[in-house]
Each structure stands twice: as structure tokens, then as C-alpha cells.
A and B are shown apart, each in its own frame.
Chain A
Amino acid sequence: MIPFEMVEPKSLKEALALLDPQESTVRAVAGGTALMLMMKAGVFTPTRLVCLHGIESEYARITVSAGELRIGAMATLSELERDANVAARLPVLKRAMRTLSNVRVRNVARVGGALAHGDPHLDLPPVLAALGARVSISGAGGDRELPLEQLYSGYYETVLAKDELITAVKIPAQAARKAAYMKVTARSADDWPALGVAVSFAFADGAIRDPIVVVSAATEKVTRMAAAEKVLHGAAPDDATLARAGDAAAAAAAILTDAHGSAAYKRELLRVYLRRAVREALGDGARPVRQ
């Protein structure tokens, strides 16, 4: 690493002003765990890092209002993991935290950074996307809000401008919706996933309603599987339906070959794990593999 400037603004506004809409060597740093990896690998060489630790503490709060859970972007992953509201309202998120990276990274990494990084192998984006989360973004040009999955435009790419920051993620009330996240590792247990499948849906009168199906890791970005959602909506979660949903997802997903496995193999995993995710959400013992 070569020397650079680290500035520590005291407010979000100040932080935004210190970013540069044109200059990619100026970046914000929250927990820094992913950024430092990029710097060590030589793929990112900053001239200035805008450290966000000193901005207003409200951006680190996790609050509930009108049933909506608002997670400040500067909350650490550990704070999310330990939050009582998260545990009570979003057990799927609480469970996912257990195998998300490791304790030390969770202690330091921030929610905003985990979302803005754009690495499709991360666990938080698919889980939040399945929960219908929206991200709040602030920039020099004003504020905006997006469904989480629309944040991603490609492999490690987001729609964030260089002078925009994520300030919060909002998760709507889940009521009785059921949810599950399957992190499928293909090598060792602590590996990055070869495939992530997150689902949530309402379940009434024996039928699935308004499902959200999200695929990650195997694709270049976190992706909603509309075709599979269509198959599931209004259907009973029997083997035939789940197989058709799996086929629909496998046909639609743009799956990549990488060190975790071939595209053909991961497509097969998607068929299997979509079914297992739905079953897991329904609470009937899918076999968790290396969870």
C-alpha cells in the first residue's frame, strides 16, 4: 500500500462534500474490511479515504417505526446480529448472520459497506432483497430510494454515483411471511457460497402468496427470479410445484462458472436449493448442508 490521505468528516453532509463525483481514487470507508482487501490486492489505490466513523450517530441506529425496520448504514454487522428487533422480527436475518463471514469481520464491517461493495457472494444482499428491503441513498444531488436488488448493475458494480452514500436500509413489516436463506458452500464450510438462495412468501390456505425468490453468488449480481416467483404464487408447495419453480429459476438465472463450480453444476444446485429453501421457510426439515 502507498500513502494516501484519510479524512474524518463529522457529518454526512461533510462526508458527501469530500467525495468526488469524477475521481475513483477517492472513496468512502466504513468498516474497511472489503476495501482493505482490494487495496492489498492492488486493485484499488486510493488517494483519499473518507472515513465515515465520525458522522452523526443516527446513521448507525437500528429502529422500528410503523412496523418498518430501519437499519442505519453505519450499524456494524454484529449490531445487526445482536439487535432484539431483528431477532424478533427477522429470524432469517439473525440466522444468516451466524455464517456471514466471521466474528471479527462482523464486528467491524458496516451494513452500508456490505451492500455497496457489490460482491455477489455476500450474504446480506440476497437476504435483505428477499425481505423486500429498500435502500436509502444520499448524494450531492439529493436523496433517493431503491429496491435493494436494483442497487446492483453488475459484478462488483452498483448504480451508486461516486459521490453518493447508502444511509439506511428499510425492511417492511413481514407480518406472517415466511423466509429462508440457503448458503451453499461447495468446498469448505467457511468458503464463500457457490450459490445463495433466499426466499420469502406469505402462506395461506395451503398456498404460497407473493413470493420473492433471490439468487446470489452463482450470478454476477443479486437477482430476483421472477419466473420462479410466478410459478410459486398461488400454488401449494408440493414437489411438482417446487420442481417447476426450480426449473424456471434454473432456466432464467445467468449462472457463471468459477472456482466454486461450473455453471451447469450450480444450475442443478439452484433447482435443489430453491426447493429446500421453500421447505426450510415452511419449517419442514430440509437437510441443511454445511450450514
Chain B
Amino acid sequence: MNQVGRDIPRLEVRAKVTGRADYTHNLRLPGMLYGKVFRATVPHGRIRCIETGAARAVPGVQCVVTGEDIRKLIAEPYYGPAFHDQPILALDKVRHVGEPVAVVLASDPHVAEHAAQLIDAEYQELPAVYDEVAAMQPDIVVHDMLKPAGTFADLKHLKGRTGTNIALDFHLRRGDVDAALARAERVIEHTFKTQQCLHLAFEPFVAVADPGDGVLTIHTSNQTPSFVRTEIARLFGWPENRVRVKVPYLGGGFGAKVYVKLEALVSALALLVRRPVKIALTMEEQFYMITKHPTTFRIKSGVGKDGRVVARACEVYWNGGAYADIGPRVTQKSGFTAPGPYDIENINIDSYALYTNRTPAGALRGFGIPQLVWAYESHTDLIARELGIDPIDFRRKNILHQNRPQASGTPMTDAAIAKVLDAIAARLAWNKKLDRGSGTVRRGRGVAIGFKASISPTTSVAIVNVAADGSTTLYTSTVDMGQGSDTAFAQIAAEVLDFKAEDIRIVHPDTDVTPYDMGTLGSRSLFHMGNAVRLAAEDARAKLQALAAQAGLPEGTNYPPAEVFKKRFGMQAGNVIGAASFVPTYKSPDAQTGLSDNVTPFWMVGGAGAEVEVDTETGDVRVLRLVNAVDCGKPINPGVARTQLSGAAIMQLGFTLSEAMQLDAGQVTNASLADYKIPGIRDVPPMENELVEAEQHTGPFGAKGLGESGTFGVSPAIANAIHDAVGVRIMELPITAEVVFRALRAQQGRPLEDA
């Protein structure tokens, strides 16, 4: 039976349509207290005092906890995946509006909420910095000293550095950019910007800690249970086996729920009060947790007479907000793809992770890639226009082909870039003329392609347990947050063991039970854990064969496992455990040049094509057609893969046209779904989604992940289409109707003037 490549519904469909699926959101434990966070109201300030008396006096309040209370429990209560820079509750200073300063605990969440409103804090306000380029200057410093976590070797040199907001600077030098630019026929330079936006999973951040008796159990809506266990154990100075992290289904993640978010806070609170503690954020509070990096990207290209790009210099500034989170990884791991999927001899990349006084930024469906593609594909389109070359032809001329080295020096193996571009061009019927509209309604079209490296080096471990009746259970710490990993792993294990995928049961992450996984992020699960599952299933298969041999069954016959067990043990007894780790090889970039010939185990490729209609009287942009194509190797479940692609593209459509966190003196002024507009059902354009025919030879049955790939090309494809339609170029996201209108008026030489 062919299990891989089958379009089976997700395993958990019934639980989800009946409302019975298990989310941390639902969890209540006996004796549980609810915590409500009191948050900073200033963007940058020294804490003078926190007045909690009125809150403590509210009937029903158990206690009010501040950073100093936490410090009595944990001497160094700072956490973070790259830097240990984030206090569990603010200590000494606050660095962004919305930073947690105190928590009220009560058994009634309404009481906790009311009491939290009665807390008052006084600050000595400090000047604040919000812009990533401004933060390059040390005039206003967000952190007095850099505190790298030590888990990343390449951050060690930053330890103890003072007087800077640069959490990481990554540099790549390939060839001789200056010489090549000097020789180039033309040199073209642009600066692009992206806005701060955010994930807004519909199950807002939620975690419950149960102090237990010697073993702390954390139930959490989190994408990285293994990391949470390690980090919480480190904070308390405990061995890992005293921390248990359990994760059911997630009501969305999108990169928000990675590393420690609420877990350190609920754990500390639960240990302080010796009762279970739950904190569930509201939608509004999500605006103060983690966001997507705003960026400024200066890109300069030298082009030869033949239309080949001969040199490219990229300066990328990542606005990481008040705490580094995983920003330094974004800066480096995505940074080296900044020149785009093009074969360019001479490349400079300078990529900077910056602290500012905004809500922290981390990973959001693409780990920085959509910001980069926005810039390099807008830039690419502008170059093609300037040279008078068709934008598809221009890309074809410069594209990276199979096994050619990418900027980092790592070959582009199994990266179907050209195929993705061809698929988009074909679906848009690029060689046919477009009806360009007339009067005040103009049409245009555009394309964009992008790529991404997988995060490396990382480890995934899987266990396959075949019971004596042949029924099989799979243990992994991969979190199914809607991407369908449970289903894909069942299909992979079933393929190896010759079972039916639907019959395999998946045990959800429980670090007491499920083995280590680096995290469900960066589209890595299908490749990394998928390979681990495949190896674990092969291990189980080999053990079943050995068992059959022990039972005296002739070799080469395919006995059902139940018969093998019965024959071997004389009854329905025993089990077979297959286990495997998967750790791809990796070579870290050279400290001087930033180069490495093995920087990623695989490449993701995605692109988009858009046809748009612009109302020139209002600037309103209507997407008439959105074509999305990705290389995901050979899909394990093509149906689920297509919905992933479609969902990613629509999400990126929101980041392109409407979503933006608005700040006024550091205050978020639109922290709600009423004022921060995500795409609704009436915003979805006609779409076509294509998985191009490809194979990832090192992936499980030729597959690799695609959760992010659908986001890559959407924004620049639309900007390119708008340019094609009405001749204006938008350099900054989001592209609202007003932005387009203003550009149109500027183009007409009568800029819209604000009174």
C-alpha cells in the first residue's frame, strides 16, 4: 500500500470539527490560579517603584508578584534562546511598552484582571529608540551589556560588550564587490523597508504550570517543548528530568510560540505560590509578546551589458525590539540569502540585529525571508525595467541552477528555482498580452521568487512503538499546530512498516515520554523529524524481522506483526521499539568571510505571480489573481501541502496590503483585531497553488517542508504588478490604498498635501 503521496485527511479531523480537540486553552487544574499581567506603559525607563497595595487589597487576590519576588527564587531570572537578556518580570528597567512588570494571581480571572488595573508603577523615563537604522548609533542604548546565551559559538565574542544596540552583525564577503561594481555597465541601488506585524494565532499565548512535588509540569501552547524543558531547568538549576513539558494541539503558531514565552513566568509563579498557575493572554496582549522584524534593506547591484548581475551589496538592518529572542539567528541564517536566488560572482552582505524599544521580534513564517525577498525581488524587477528586459527573462538569465554555489558557497542542490519561476510564468500566461484596463482602472502583473535555507545544525529524535497486536504508536516532540505533521509522520512510518497511516497513533509532545526535537519551526519538521521517523520505523522493521527470525519464521516472508509476537512470546505480549536520531551535517560559516560549503541540509523555494487592478482615483488595489508555486520535493500529502501553500500566501497577503502595528511614542495604537486588519474571507483573491515536480533526495521519500515557502514571493509580486499597472513603485510595506494613492499623486507631480 502506498502511504506516501496519499491525500488522506489529517488524523485529527474529527476532534477539530466537533470542537473536542485538546488545546492548552481548555486546561483547568484543581486549585489553579489565574495570572493577569500588569504591563509597562513607557517604552524605556528605570523602575522607581511598583505600587501593588491596592491590588493586594482586592478580595479574592492571592498575591501580587514583581520581578524582585522572582529574583528571590531565581538569582539570574533572565532567559532567551540567543541572549539571556529577557527578565521573567521587569527588573530595574523596562524596555518596551507592554513589558510584563507584575502579575496578580487569583482564582477568578476577572478578579485578577480588575486588581491588575489597580497596580501603578513609576518610572524614570529614558529616551527611546524605535528605528533600526537609528539604533546603529549608540546614543540610546537599550541594554547596558550584551549577554549571549553561550549555546551559540558564534555569539561568544559578544559577551560583555557595552555601549551598543547591535546584538549581532553578520558579514559575508565573496569575490570583490568594489572592483566588480566599478567595472559594471550600470550600478543600481535601492532601499526597501518592511513594517512591524505579528502572528496573531487565534489561540493566544497560554501556559499552565503545575508545581507538583519535585517535578514541575508545564502545559503550554508552544512550538519547542524540548527547548522549554532545557531552558526552564537551566533557570532553576535543575536536571532536565525534573521538568516536564506537555503540548497538545496548538491553535496556530506561525513562529510566535517558539522558545520560552510564558513558560518561565508561570513556572516561577507556580513555585512561589505552590499551586498551579495559568496565564492566558488576550488578543491585545499578543501585541506585546513577539512580532515580525521591521527591516531596512539597502541593496546595490552592478549589471553587465549582457543583463547579468555581476555584483551585489546588501545591508540589512533587523529591528529586533527590546529583547533579542531569535533575532540574531534570523540575522545570520536568513542574512546569507539576502542577494536572492541568483548566480552572482561578487557579493557583500552586512546584516545587523538591533535592539530597539519596541515589542521584541522573532520568527514569523519565513524567519526573515519574506522581508529579504520583498527587497531583492522588488529590486530585481526595477533593474529589469531599467534595462528594458522582460522581468522573467532577466530572472532566467541570472538564476542559480542545480549545484551552483549560493552566496554562502553552499551548492544549490535540489532547489527547483527555475521550475518554480516557469510554473508561475506558465500559469500567468506570461507570453500573452494582458488586458491592461482603461480609464481609472488599470491592470498589471508581476512575479517574484525566493528561497530559504533550513536552520542548522539541529537534532530530531523519534520513537516508533509496535505493540503485540501490531498496532503502532509514534512518539515525537514535533508540535502539530495545523501544519499536518502528525498525519505526514504517520504516512512516513506507515510506508516503511507497510501499515495504513490512519491506524498509527501519534503521541503528542510530552518531554517525559517523547524524545528530543529542536523545535517545530522553520519548515524543518518534515525533513528533520520526517527523516528521524523514517529511520525509527526502519529500526522497528529490522527488529520485527529479527523477532520473526527468533520465532523461527522463514526469512523473506511478510508476517503480520501480531503473528510474529504471538509466535515469539506464545501470547499477545512484548513490543518492538524503533528509535532513531537525525542530525544532518553542517559547517558553520567562516568567521572572516561568512562562507561555508555546507550551511544547510536543504533549500526551500517559493514564488508568486500576481495580476492586480488599481483604482487610480483611490489607490485601491484589487488582486485579481494570485499564483503560488513551491518546490517541496515529493509531497507526502499533496492535499495538506496545497492548503499550507495557500494559507501561507494569504497570510503574506495580509502583511502585504493591510497589516501593520502602529506606534505612537512607543505605544501600540492598534492592538486588536478591530484595528489591526488581517485577511478575511472577502479579501481572498482567486488563487492557484502549484507544487512543482521535484525531489529532495536527502528528504524522507523525497520530501521537504513548505510551511513558509508560500510567503516568499507574494509581497514583491504585488508591488511589481502595481508598478506594471500604474507605473509607481512602492518601497515600503504595507501597500495600503493610501500609499498607492499618494504614489500616484506624486507621479502626477501634485503630491497629496497634509493640512
| A and B in contact, CB less than 8 Å | yes
Chain B positions within 8 Å of A47 at CB level: none
Tell me how many residues of B have a C-beta within 8 Å of chain A: 33
In the complex formed, the residue of A with least CB distance to B653 is A188
Q: Which of A6-14, A70-78, A259-267 contacts B (4 or more CB under 8 A)?
A: A259-267
Chain A positions within 8 Å of B110 at CB level: 1-2
A269 at the A/B interface (Cβ < 8 Å)?
A: yes
The answer for the CA separation of A268 and B754 in the assembled complex, in Å, is 11
**Contact mask B114-143 → A, CB, 8 Å, 1/0?**
100100000000000000000000000000
Q: Is the CB of B679 within 8 A of A188?
A: yes
**Contact mask B664-694 → A, CB, 8 Å, 1/0?**
0000011000110111101100000000000
The answer for the CA separation of A264 and B741 in the assembled complex, in Å, is 11
Q: Is the CB of A188 within 8 A of B677?
A: yes
B141 nearest CB across to chain A (Å):
31
- Among B113, B670, B679, B753, the residue within 8 A (CB) of A259 is B670
The answer for the CA separation of A2 and B36 in the assembled complex, in Å, is 14
The answer for the CA separation of A261 and B753 in the assembled complex, in Å, is 13
B752 at the A/B interface (Cβ < 8 Å)?
A: yes
B738 at the A/B interface (Cβ < 8 Å)?
A: yes
A119 nearest CB across to chain B (Å):
11
The answer for the CA separation of A42 and B113 in the assembled complex, in Å, is 10
- Among B113, B657, B680, the residue within 8 A (CB) of A190 is B680
Chain B positions within 8 Å of A2 at CB level: 110, 114
B47 at the A/B interface (Cβ < 8 Å)?
A: no
Tell me how many residues of A have a C-beta within 8 Å of chain B: 24
Q: Is the CB of A189 within 8 A of B683?
A: yes
| Secondary structure type dominating chain A contacts | loop
Q: Is the CB of B658 within 8 A of A263?
A: no
The answer for the CA separation of A186 and B741 in the assembled complex, in Å, is 11
A59 at the A/B interface (Cβ < 8 Å)?
A: no
B667 nearest CB across to chain A (Å):
13
Chain B positions within 8 Å of A184 at CB level: 618
Chain A positions within 8 Å of B680 at CB level: 188-190
The answer for the CA separation of A264 and B658 in the assembled complex, in Å, is 19
The answer for the CA separation of A30 and B679 in the assembled complex, in Å, is 31
Q: Is the CB of A262 within 8 A of B738?
A: yes
Chain A positions within 8 Å of B737 at CB level: 186, 261
Contacts known (A186-B737, A261-B738, A287-B441); A268 close to B679, Cβ less than 8 A: no
Chain A positions within 8 Å of B473 at CB level: none
Q: Is the CB of B675 within 8 A of A287?
A: no
Q: Is the CB of B669 within 8 A of A188?
A: no
Interface residues of A in 250-291 (CB under 8 A from B): 257, 259, 261-265, 268-269, 272, 287, 289-290
Q: Is the CB of B658 within 8 A of A265?
A: no
A83 at the A/B interface (Cβ < 8 Å)?
A: no
B260 nearest CB across to chain A (Å):
28
- Among A188, A262, A263, A290, the residue within 8 A (CB) of B620 is A290
The answer for the CA separation of A1 and B670 in the assembled complex, in Å, is 21
Interface residues of A in 112-127 (CB under 8 A from B): none
B596 at the A/B interface (Cβ < 8 Å)?
A: no
Q: List 23 A-B contacts (CB under 8 A).
A: A2-B110, A186-B736, A187-B657, A188-B654, A189-B680, A190-B677, A190-B680, A190-B683, A191-B677, A192-B674, A259-B669, A261-B738, A262-B738, A262-B752, A263-B755, A264-B755, A265-B741, A265-B742, A265-B752, A272-B617, A272-B618, A287-B615, A289-B622
* 5 nearest A-B residue pairs (beta carbon): A189-B682, A188-B677, A187-B677, A187-B658, A190-B680
Given A265-B742, A290-B622, output 9 extra A-B contacts at Cβ < 8 Å: A2-B114, A184-B618, A186-B737, A259-B670, A259-B675, A264-B753, A268-B752, A272-B618, A289-B615
